[in-house]
Amino acid sequence: MTRGKPVALVIKGKVASVLGEHLCNGTASSTAGATALRLKCADGNTTRVKGTARMNGAKLEVSWDGFGTDEFSRNKTNG
């Protein structure tokens, strides 16, 4: 949950997706301890389309340009 609403962030290799009120897909590129996210939402929403993800302890924090910060718990899956 982020900002009181369920939001999922999936990063696998160079592909990233956010699923919440909107479905957004795009790229993830890692450099110097951070991952740049560039997404496009199917419905044209621009809330979570450009951001930087960094680990903060056991949490992943994403600072979205013009939106603020979301905090995610990590869930590893096989494969």
Residue 27 DSSP one-character state: E
10-29 mean pLDDT: 96
**For 14-53, b where at least 16 C-beta lie within 10 A, e where not — what string?**
eebbbebebebebebeeeeeebebebebeeeeeebbebeb
What is the tens place of the pLDDT at every residue in 21-71?
A: 999 999 999 988 899 999 999 999 999 999 999 999 989 999 999 989 999
* Res. 19: pLDDT tops 90: yes
**Those residues with Cβ within 8 angstroms of residue 67's Cβ, 6 or more apart along the chain or in another chain:** 47, 48, 51
What is the tens place of the pLDDT at every residue in 49-62?
A: 999 999 999 899 99
* Res. 4: pLDDT tops 90: no
Ranges assigned E (strand) in 13-57: 15-19, 23-31, 34-41, 50-56
* Res. 79: pLDDT tops 60: no
